[in-house]
């Protein structure tokens, strides 16, 4: 992939939006787990975390973002995160027990970067 001027200016940041519907009455427990375990583990793998945010119209909905320097870094960083001992030895089950439903991750590339890429039609 060739770097366009827009990619160079934005440093190719990839943003992923995650949205979860938390099981009724478990929101505080999820937020505590996220703040004390999930976010620190993500950050230890180099993944920037923004949020979490609570939907003011639906208190059981939590939205958060994670960002990566590039698509290649995203793949490598997520592999490191999901292969980690912390995730595999219980954190996956703990968070899964608190989440009623999750939307697919929305992976965003800045529109300016996307419009300047020559390899996308």
What are the domain boundaries of the chain?
11-110
Q: Which is nearest to 48 in space by CA: 73, 72, 31?
A: 73
Give dist(CA 23, CA 101) in Å, integer.
Answer: 8
Q: Quick one: pLDDT at residue 116? A: 56
| Band of pLDDT at residue 9, cut at 50, 70 and 90 | very low
Which has the minimum average pLDDT: 10-24, 32-46, 47-61, 91-105?
10-24
* Strand bridging mode 61-68 / 14-22: antiparallel
Q: Mean pLDDT for the chain?
A: 86
In this prediction, residue 104 has a pLDDT band, given cuts at 50, 70 and 90, of confident
Can you give the pLDDT at residue 103?
Answer: 83
Query: Who contacts 13 (Cβ-Cβ below 8 Å, separation ≥6)?
Result: 67, 68, 69, 110
Residue with tokens 């583990």: 41
Q: Is the predicted pLDDT of residue 72 greater than 60, yes or no? A: yes
Q: Which CATH fold topology does 11-110 show?
A: Alpha-Beta Plaits (3.30.70)
């Amino acid at each position: 992939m060739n770097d366009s001027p827009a990619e160079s200016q934005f440093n190719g940041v990839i943003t992923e939006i995650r949205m979860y519907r938390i099981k009724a009455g478990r929101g505080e427990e999820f937020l505590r787990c996220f703040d004390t375990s999930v976010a620190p583990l993500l950050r230890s793998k180099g993944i920037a975390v923004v949020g979490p945010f609570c939907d003011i119209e639906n208190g059981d909905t939590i939205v958060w973002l994670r960002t990566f320097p590039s698509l290649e870094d995203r793949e490598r960083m997520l592999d490191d995160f999901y292969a980690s001992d912390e995730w595999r030895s219980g954190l996956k089950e703990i968070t899964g027990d608190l989440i009623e439903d999750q939307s697919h991750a929305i992976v965003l590339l800045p529109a300016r970067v996307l419009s300047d890429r020559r390899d996308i039609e």
